[in-house]
Amino acid sequence: MNNVFRAWKLGSVELKLYLREPSAFFFTLVFPLLLMLLFGSIWGNQPFPEQFFGYIDYSAAAFIGIVILTTGIMNLTVNIASYREKGILRRFMATPLTPVSFLMAEMGSILVITSMGVALLLLAGLVIFGMHFWGSPLEAAVAFLLGCGAMAGLGFIPASLAPSARSGAVIANIMYFPMLFLSGAALPQDILPDALRTVAEAFPLTHSIRLLRGIWLGGRLAEYPVEIAVLAGTLLAGAFFASRMFRWD
Amino acid sequence: MEDIVISAVDLRKSYGDTVALDGLDLSVHRGEVFGLVGPNGAGKTTTIDCIAGMRRPDSGSLSTLGLDPVGDSRELHTRVGLQQQESELPERMKVGESLRLFSSLFGVEEPGMGLLEKVGLGKKLDACFSDLSGGQKRRLFVALAMVHDPELVMLDELTSGLDPRGRRDLWSLVDGIRGSGRTVVLSTHYMDEAQKLCDRVAIVHGGRVVALDTPDALVREHCPGMRLILGCGQGFEPGDALEVEGVLGACMQGDTCVMDLRDAGVVVPVIQALSGAGASLGDLHTEVPTLEDVFMVVTGREYGETDE
């Protein structure tokens, strides 16, 4: 309980620090929005032939996926690695804070930033393109949280070890770009060759986007046991890795 | 035994090929201000980090407040306050915010304004960390090390890089902590600082303690001699001084005579002998050795060379 309380206190301070310096995450939120505006202006949101949904309805999950990917892998890793580089983590090490509480705090504060990005997307989709949603809002929220958790779980791995912001950014990029292009986030997966699509099955983001899209278009969580297992497993594996390997300095 | 708060025996620690601790022994008593002095690279920070549970020594036995610093590090951190040499806070974190945050990390009530006022940051509550001066940052870290009212306060290179004013501010802060009955361990490469602040001092050199005692006792033991500088007029002969037991050397420098004495007890006999011989004497002052001289004697090297 104390660990949760500490994570809560630290997380709320971290969130304030983020909001005090919006330049750190501004691009994270604006990049997916720009993509939506660009492709939305090309394709519009008219229902596809013989389908009930249009381009924006279909791609909302992909844009949300980009936000989740960027905050979970990039922002989380670079922020923590820069704390390690500056000796801020050493200061926390001399308190009863545990690595897992620390990472919970970081994940929680980044979750709020991610939600802001998603809210921005939803607003633009609704107002500009008349986006539709056929699923259960509660189940969509669960799918969103699972995706955030899985991306943060992946981010925990470089975040636990990277000695500097620069090295953290390098490792984060190596994880970021394959997922951005192969998981159906920035590019539709149907244009990929089969081999690459098979590779992309190993990426948690692929499962996150498929789950979100399924719920978005009226599906139910119960129809996606594999996706849910992969996402929850990624979070648990990342947390387990961090609890063993996390370095304060 | 219960008044020993830190006991270290034969601590060893290497980083790759670099030996940081090479069989370091020391023990610290409850309530004292204990200084680790020596040049940069002597092993002071590694010693503090090991004692505070921030690093694991390669070998040796170590107990801090009766705990194993590595195995019981979380309990230890609730009872030790540590000010680290190389540490920072997020740039945009505010002073008051950091104090509240660290209070909740330690699970204690907010200490309120008293602590910040004590370290002279009472008016800086809403200042961002990055806007503080070097000395203010250092004082904030002392405050953060004290939020949970620790029994043992460890201050690593408290004043390095600060101007004289900043150093004096921190010295009075340490004097304030001393009065509160806590044990303080501080490291410094300023010998004058150690001499002024510390009840006992360990001189650290090449990863081990080469001398340990009160500053006065260290000086008496290793550098008992002193220098007497005497203005002199008519009828003075340096040879008269040399006849006095305990005068090791005497030479004239213009109108003054510089004499090396075996110890402080020789001053009075010298003056008596010289005035008895009819010499007229002028101003008198003495130069007493400092810890810096002790360092040179026990290590055989000039102080200030880095200890790499």
ipTM score for this prediction: 0.89
Q: How far is CA A103 from CA A16, A100, B104, in A?
A: 16, 5, 17
Domain shared by B215 and B236, yes or no: no
Q: Is residue B118 part of a domain?
A: yes
Share the mean pLDDT of chain A. 94
Q: What is the pLDDT of residue A1?
A: 63
Q: Using one digit for the tens of pLDDT, what is the confidence trace for B124-147?
A: 999 999 999 988 999 999 999 999
| Interchain proximity B86–A95, CB inside 8 Å | no
Q: Which of A9, A12, A91 to mutate to test the interface with B (most CBs of B within 10 A)?
A: A91
Query: Nearest by CB to A87, which of B86, B101, B102?
Result: B86
B54 contacts chain A (CB < 8 A):
yes
Q: What is the pLDDT of residue B116?
A: 87
Domain shared by B235 and B175, yes or no: no
The percentage of residues in chain B with a pLDDT greater than 70, rounded to a whole number, is 97
Q: Is the pLDDT higher at B303 or at B27?
A: B27
Q: Is the pLDDT higher at A23 or at B203?
A: B203
Taking the C-alpha atoms of residue B194 and residue B215, their distance in angstroms, rounded to an integer, is 8
Handedness of CA A231, A237, A241, A242 (dihedral sign): positive
Q: Which residue has the tokens 């699972």?
A: A146
| Interchain proximity A91–B87, CB inside 8 Å | yes
How many structural domains compose chain A? 1
Average pLDDT of B271-277? 83
Domain shared by B208 and B228, yes or no: no
Taking the C-alpha atoms of residue A6 and residue A8, their distance in angstroms, rounded to an integer, is 5
Q: Which residue has the tokens 């009160």?
A: B214
| Chain A residue with Cα closest to B93 | A17
Taking the C-alpha atoms of residue A88 and residue A13, their distance in angstroms, rounded to an integer, is 14
CATH number, domain of B196, equals 3.40.50.300
Q: Is the pLDDT higher at A210 or at B275?
A: A210
Q: What is the pLDDT of residue B1?
A: 45
Domain shared by B206 and B232, yes or no: no
Domain shared by B272 and B214, yes or no: no
Query: Nearest by CB to B78, which of A20, A83, A96?
Result: A96
Q: What is the pLDDT of residue A245?
A: 95
Domain shared by B103 and B36, yes or no: yes
Domain shared by B190 and B251, yes or no: no
Domain shared by B139 and B252, yes or no: no
| Interchain proximity A94–B78, CB inside 8 Å | no
Q: Which domain holds residue B255?
A: 224-288
| Interchain proximity B106–A95, CB inside 8 Å | yes
Chain A residues within an 8 Å CB radius of B87: 87-88, 90-91
CB pairs under 8 A between A and B: 62
pLDDT of A244 over the 80 cut: yes
Q: Is residue B271 part of a domain?
A: yes
Average pLDDT of A134-143? 96
Model confidence at A155, pLDDT cuts 50, 70, 90, reads very high
Domain shared by B208 and B236, yes or no: no
How many structural domains compose chain B? 2
Q: Is residue B302 part of a domain?
A: no
Taking the C-alpha atoms of residue B46 and residue B74, their distance in angstroms, rounded to an integer, is 19
Q: Is residue B207 part of a domain?
A: yes
CATH number, domain of B232, equals 3.30.70.250
Average pLDDT of B223-247? 83
Query: Nearest by CB to B77, which of A5, A83, A94?
Result: A94
Q: Is residue B160 part of a domain?
A: yes
Q: Which domain holds residue A49?
A: 2-245
User: Do the Cβ atoms of B40 and B189 come closer than 8 Å?
Assistant: yes
pLDDT of B308 over the 50 cut: no
Q: Using one digit for the tens of pLDDT, what is the confidence trace for A42-83?
A: 999 989 988 899 999 999 999 999 999 999 999 999 999 999
Specify the DSSP class assigned to residue A187: S
Domain shared by B185 and B279, yes or no: no
User: Do the Cβ atoms of B195 and B290 come closer than 8 Å?
Assistant: yes
Domain shared by B188 and B124, yes or no: yes
Q: How far is A94 from chain B (nearest CA, A)?
A: 6
| Interchain proximity A96–B80, CB inside 8 Å | no
Chain A residues within an 8 Å CB radius of B78: 96
Domain shared by B269 and B140, yes or no: no
Q: What is the pLDDT of residue B305?
A: 53
